[in-house]
Structure 1
Amino acid sequence: MTADLRLILFDVDGTLVDSQAAIVGSMTAAFDKAGLTVPARQTILSIVGLSLPQAMERLAPEQDGGVRAQLVQGYKDSYRDQRLAQGAAHSPLYPGAMEMLEVLHAVPENLLGVATGKSKRGLDGLIEAHGMERLFVTRQVADFHPSKPHPSMIHAAMDEAGVEPANCVMIGDTSFDMDMAAAAGVAGIGVSWGYHKPSALASAHTIIDTFDQLPDALAQIWT
């Protein structure tokens, strides 16, 4: 690989797709099935980006490991059933997301990837539903890594792509994404339309409000 290659990593939920209805719905189903009080909507959205076991630790700290494991499985089952029933409508892309992915993908030096708290099954299903299979050279998921903000996902993505930290950027909507980028020694670009307020993205190099601002943000980092 040449040093000129650049790796652009994307978070998924809250960054590329608006999955809040799906996430809240599946979390509600999981807590209902377990006979527990469902957390408030904003509380649920605050944990998006974490791996499910870590998310359940925050949402149900008073429960033991067995109950939290049941919540994880209940969430997975509900999310899978919804995704299979609804297809791409289950987690719609944000306006401009696909267009910007195509623009970035068309640049020979750019390599696109994903670093997400989703499972491999969930990510693969989403990518297939939206016809994005050809866009990403690396897909890092919760199945094989510690939860964000641990830098393992970014380190693995850089190794797979053959790219150094100076030529890698992480794009995401949560503090977990930006803290993960900082821990990995790469620049982080925060997006304002996701599940954490822009004020929470303290580790971000910059924050964008629309996808069409992304090329300029990348150019500033790599100039």
Structure 2
Amino acid sequence: MTAETPLRLLVLDVDGTIVDSLHNIVAAMEMAAADHGIVCPPPARCRRVVGLELVEAVATLFPDLDDALHRAVADSYKRSFQVLRAAPDHVENLYAGAVDAIAALEAQNVILGIATGKSRRGVAAMLARHGLEGRFLTIQTPDDNPGKPHPGMLLRAMAETGAASEHTVMVGDTTYDMAMARAARCHALGVAWGYHPVEELHAAGAHVVIEDYADLLAAAQRLWCGGAGEGG
């Protein structure tokens, strides 16, 4: 990058943004609940907690359980998801246009990153399954950071890449992503194909919400070229 073209960083969420994994998340949570003799909430409630750090997600779904049981259910969820991931019929489809959008960003010398509630092991498995290894310079998970909407993952991504907040775009499908971006004083770019309604993304601080991956590069460029940021 030249002095005239600063480092530009685009950070993507995973579940609900790059891949549609809700069916696996619900299945793993149902298995984890069954392990402890409790009833899992319906999929619509599970959908609401995707993106949160796992123990926090469990605590949100099962508020009447104590902390020890929240952690036990979270551990069961991890084991259940590993079982599902190892099954020959495991499916975690990429959203249409994701690979093309990543390639278009790379062609413009945009640095790519990930910030997700998924575990580092889960991210590695997803990237390998879809042939995306090596495409993301910084990968941030709750294994090493506070969970969303805390800004820690984005702050660390910027520190690792040298990108300034005004040149960083966070792309995600949940209010947690938008709140994290705002807390880190970055651009908040929502996607309409994920797990939280568009109106909630706007209410949580999204600077823009796109309907299709084909619109991602242009939307990010508008933000980098003077759109809202730095808490704007």
TM class, shorter-length: over 0.9
Deviates more, 1:165-174 or 1:118-127: 118-127
Instruction: For residue 90 of structure 1, give the secondary structure of its aligned residue in structure 2.
Output: coil
Distance 1:198 1:6 in 2: 25
**Could you tell me how far 1:8 is from its partner in structure 2?**
0.3
Is 2:48 the counterpart of 1:7?
Answer: no
RMSD of Structure 2 on Structure 1 (CA): 1.3
Kept in 2, the 8 Å contact 1:82–1:90? The answer is no
Distance 2:101 2:2 in 1: 24
Pairs within 5 Å for 1:22-171: 22-86=24-88, 89-108=90-109, 110-171=110-171
- So what's the TM-score if we normalise by structure 2? 0.92
Distance 1:23 1:86 in 2: 17
Distance 2:113 2:11 in 1: 5
Residue identity opposite 1:138 in structure 2 = T
Is 2:38 the counterpart of 1:18?
Answer: no
Q: Deviations over 1:86-128 (max 9, x none)?
A: 48x53110111111111112222x1000000111111111111
Instruction: For residue 136 of structure 1, give the secondary structure of its aligned residue in structure 2.
Output: coil
Distance 1:178 1:184 in 2: 10
Instruction: For residue 51 of structure 2, give the secondary structure of its aligned residue in structure 1.
Output: coil
Deviates more, 1:122-131 or 1:6-15: 122-131
Could you tell me which residue of structure 2 aligns to residue 204 of structure 1?
206
Could you tell me which residue of structure 1 aligns to residue 177 of structure 2?
177
Deviates more, 1:193-202 or 1:77-86: 77-86
Q: Percent identity?
A: 41
Q: Deviations over 1:162-201 (max 9, x none)?
A: 1000110000000000000000000010001100001111
Gaps of 5+ in 1: none
Residue identity opposite 1:155 in structure 2 = L
Which segments of structure 1 move beyond 6 Å, counting only runs of 4 or more? none
Gaps of 5+ in 2: 226-232
Distance verdict in 2 for CA 1:210–1:101, change over 3 Å: same
Q: Which has the higher helix share?
A: 1
- So what's the TM-score if we normalise by structure 1? 0.96
Q: Figure out how many residues of one structure are paired with residues of the other and give that number.
A: 221
Residue identity opposite 1:187 in structure 2 = H
Could you tell me which residue of structure 2 aligns to residue 220 of structure 1?
222
Kept in 2, the 8 Å contact 1:11–1:114? The answer is yes
Residue identity opposite 1:92 in structure 2 = N
**Could you tell me how far 1:2 is from its partner in structure 2?**
5.7
Kept in 1, the 8 Å contact 2:155–2:184? The answer is yes
Q: Deviations over 1:17-70 (max 9, x none)?
A: 000110010011011111001101110010000010110110111111121111
Distance 2:78 2:189 in 1: 29
